[in-house]
């Protein structure tokens, strides 16, 4: 299926119906309110749909209740269902509702910010900080951790740490 052909067919039809070029139609589409101010456009569209539903439901209500017309009553109920759907009050039938929540932004404490600035001044890399924290905070005094810390210290021109030194 050629999606571009389908889209262009619609654009060409609109251009023909309005006596203008395809380029003019595309320019008009670029200035469509949904492109310029999506939120306002969607709010206005929803409001217009709800007003139309009000008008239709009022007409069907009079006929359904006054004349006891079953078809009008059915349309009145369907209008109410449509209103609930537009307002997001209906969960889709047969589908699980999934709440999407974004992970909260990680904020550094003032201590973490200060440590980061000091690490930057002292040219301590992220990896070296991880190893130092592992050694200092988690008590990992393995020779492998100490060796890697000393390699990173040597790369920045610092003397090696002893087995009992923390930093």
pLDDT tens per residue, range 123-140: 999 999 999 999 988 888
Task: Kindly state the average pLDDT of the residues 147-164.
Answer: 86
What pLDDT is attached to residue 5? 77
Q: Position of tokens 């571009």?
A: 4
Q: Alpha carbon of 159 to those of 5, 18, 132, 146, 165: distances in Å?
A: 69, 80, 15, 12, 12
Q: How many domains does the chain have?
A: 2
- The verdict on 17 and 77 lying in the same domain is yes
Could you list the residue range(s) of the whole structural domain that residue 133 is in?
110-155
Q: Position of tokens 């030194």?
A: 165
Q: At 15, is the pLDDT very low, low, confident or very high (cuts 50, 70, 90)?
A: very high
- Domain-located, residue 57: yes
* Tokens representing residue 104 in the block: 């909260």
- Cα 138 from chain centroid (whole Å): 37
**pTM score, whole prediction:** 0.40
- Domain-located, residue 41: yes
- The verdict on 21 and 77 lying in the same domain is yes
* 117 pLDDT higher than 90: yes
- The verdict on 75 and 123 lying in the same domain is no
What pLDDT is attached to residue 119? 92
* 167 pLDDT higher than 60: no
* Cα gap 54→76, rounded to integer Å: 10
- The verdict on 15 and 81 lying in the same domain is yes
- Domain-located, residue 38: yes
* Of 7 and 69, the one with more pLDDT: 69
Question: What percent of the chain has pLDDT above 90?
Answer: 31
* Cα gap 40→131, rounded to integer Å: 52
- The verdict on 56 and 120 lying in the same domain is no
CB of 91 closer than 8 Å to CB of 97: yes
- The verdict on 76 and 115 lying in the same domain is no
- Domain-located, residue 165: no
* Tokens representing residue 6 in the block: 């389908």
What pLDDT is attached to residue 39? 85
């Amino acid at each position: 299926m050629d999606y571009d052909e389908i889209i262009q067919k619609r654009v060409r039809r609109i251009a023909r119906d309005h006596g203008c070029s395809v380029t003019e139609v595309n320019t008009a589409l670029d200035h469509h309110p949904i492109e310029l101010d999506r939120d306002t456009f969607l709010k206005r569209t929803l409001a217009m749909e709800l007003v139309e539903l009000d008008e239709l439901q009022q007409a069907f209500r009079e006929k359904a209740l006054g004349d006891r017309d079953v078809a009008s009553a059915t349309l009145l109920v369907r209008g109410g269902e449509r209103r609930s759907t537009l307002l997001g009050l209906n969960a889709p039938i047969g589908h699980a509702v999934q709440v999407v929540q974004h992970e909260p932004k990680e904020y550094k404490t003032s201590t973490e910010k200060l440590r980061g600035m000091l690490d930057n001044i002292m040219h301590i890399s992220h990896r070296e900080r991880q190893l130092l924290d592992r050694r200092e905070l988690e008590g990992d005094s393995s020779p492998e951790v100490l060796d890697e810390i000393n390699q990173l210290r040597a790369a920045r021109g610092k003397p090696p740490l002893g087995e009992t030194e923390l930093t």
